[in-house]
Structure 1
Amino acid sequence: MKEDSLAYKVYLEVRKKILSSQLAGGARLVENFWAEKLSVSRVAVREAFMRLAGESLVEFGGKGGCFVKSMTIDDVKEIRELREILEIGALKILFAKKNKEVLKELQLICDDFSAMVEKGYYGGACEADVKFHEKMIESTENARLILMYKNSNIPLFHMRLGAVMDQMEDYQDTDKEHRAIVEGLANDDWELSYSSLVRHLYRGEQEALELV
C-alpha cells in the first residue's frame, strides 16, 4: 500500500475516533502508538495528523505534540445550529423519498447501537451513533448536502457516551430518540421525527456544554 494510502488509513481511523468522542478534546496523539496500532510508518501518521490539523480537528502544541482540539462554548452552539439546519433538511428529503431500504438501514443501525450498549462496547455505540446521523445525510443522495456535512466534521454531541461509562440514561435516551426518528419516517409522522431530532440535538448541546 502506498504511503499516501497509509496516511489516509490513519486519517480515517483517527477522525472516526475524534468524531465519536472516543478521543476527547485535549487528548495527546502519539505518533508511535498510532504507527504500531495501524501497522504504518510514522511518516504516514504525521501526514494524517497534518490533514486533521488542516480540518481543525487537531492542533500542534508549542513543543511539537499533537492534540485533539477542544471545543469552546461557541463551538458547541454553532455546531448544534449547523446540525439542526443540515439534519432537518435531510429529514425533509427522506420524508419526500419514502425509501423503505433507508428505513431498514437506519433500523439496523439502531439495533447495532442497542447491541453495543448491551455488550458494554461503548466505543462501538459511539460509532453507531455517528453512523446513524451520517446515514441520514447520505441517504438524501444530495451530493452538495453530503459534501457540506462531511467537510464540517460534525462531532458526536453526546460526549458522555465516550467519556463516562455509567451514563446509561444518556444511552437509553439516544436509543429512544433515534428509534422515534425512524418510526416517524416509517409512519409518515413528520412531527414525531422532527421533534425527536430537535430534542436529540438540544439535549446533546446541553450535555456537551456541561463538559466544556
Structure 2
Amino acid sequence: MRLSGERLVEYGEKGGCFVKKMTADDIKDIRELRELLEVGALKILFSKNNKQTIKELELICEDFTSMVEKGYYGGACEADVKFHEKIIEATGNERLLQIYHNSNIPLFHLKLGNALSHMDDYKQTDVEHRRIVDYLKNGKLKESIDTLLEHLDRGEKESIEF
C-alpha cells in the first residue's frame, strides 16, 4: 500500500501488483527535480567550503572507478547514487534531504542505472563526477554546476533512448 501511495507500483486489471514502468515524461520530471535539488545543494555545499565532504566525494569516485574496472556494475550504480546523495547530505539541510528521499530519486536512479550498464556511460559518469569534485575543490562553482547539468541531461537522454 505504501509503494502504491508513492506511485511506485500499479495494480493489474486482473489483480496483482507490478512495478510501475517509467515513461519518458517520468524520466524528464525526475531529471528536472534532480536539477533543482542538486544544483541548490551544490550552492549550499560550496558556501560551506567543507573540505571533508570533498574528500568523501573523492573516495566515492574511487569506489565507483574500482567497481567499474572490476565489472561490478550494480556496485558502481550504488556508488553513483551515493555520490549524489552525499552532495545533498553535505548541505546539512534535513528538509532538503527528506525531500530528496521522499521523491524516490535514489530508487529511480538505481533502476535507471541498472538498466544502463553500458561501459561508455560508466566511463563518462566517472569523468563527470570527478570534474564536479575538482571544480568544487578549486572554487569554481559555475563550472561545477554546468558539469552537473550536463551529467543530468546526458543521463536523461540515455535513459529515454534505452
TM value normalised by structure 2: 0.92
User: 1:210 deviation in Å?
Assistant: 1.1
Could you tell me which amino acid in structure 1 is paired with residue 8 of structure 2? L
User: 1:157 deviation in Å?
Assistant: 7.8
Determine helix, strand or coil for the equivalent of 2:109: coil
User: 1:164 deviation in Å?
Assistant: 4.8
| CA–CA distance in structure 2, aligned partners of residues 210 and 95 of structure 1 | 33
Could you tell me which amino acid in structure 2 is paired with residue 143 of structure 1? E
> How is 1:1-212 mapped onto 2 (pairs within 5 angstroms)?
50-154=1-105, 155-156=108-109, 159=112, 161-165=113-117, 167-211=118-162
Asked if the contact 2:78/2:110 (under 8 Å) is kept, the reply is no
| CA–CA distance in structure 2, aligned partners of residues 188 and 157 of structure 1 | 30
More helix by share: 2
| CA–CA distance in structure 1, aligned partners of residues 115 and 103 of structure 2 | 22
Could you tell me which amino acid in structure 2 is paired with residue 99 of structure 1? N
Query: Where does the alignment leave 5 or more consecutive residues of structure 1 unmatched?
Result: 1-49
| CA–CA distance in structure 2, aligned partners of residues 66 and 119 of structure 1 | 35
Asked if the contact 2:89/2:97 (under 8 Å) is kept, the reply is yes
User: Where in structure 1 do 4 or more consecutive aligned residues deviate above 3 Å?
Assistant: none
Query: Where does the alignment leave 5 or more consecutive residues of structure 2 unmatched?
Result: none
| CA–CA distance in structure 1, aligned partners of residues 12 and 78 of structure 2 | 28
| CA–CA distance in structure 2, aligned partners of residues 62 and 194 of structure 1 | 44
TM value normalised by structure 1: 0.71
Structure 1 137/189 Cα, relative in aligned 2: closer, same or farther at 3 Å? Answer: same
Could you tell me which amino acid in structure 2 is paired with residue 188 of structure 1? G
Structure 1 203/164 Cα, relative in aligned 2: closer, same or farther at 3 Å? Answer: closer
Structure 1 152/64 Cα, relative in aligned 2: closer, same or farther at 3 Å? Answer: same
Aligned residues: 160
Which structure's CA Rg is the greater one?
Answer: 1
Q: Which moves more between the two structures, 115-124 or 148-157?
A: 148-157
| CA–CA distance in structure 2, aligned partners of residues 189 and 158 of structure 1 | 31
The RMSD of aligned alpha carbons is: 1.6
Could you tell me which amino acid in structure 1 is paired with residue 109 of structure 2? L
* Structure number with higher relative contact order (C-alpha < 8 Å, ≥ 6 residues apart): 2
| CA–CA distance in structure 2, aligned partners of residues 94 and 158 of structure 1 | 27
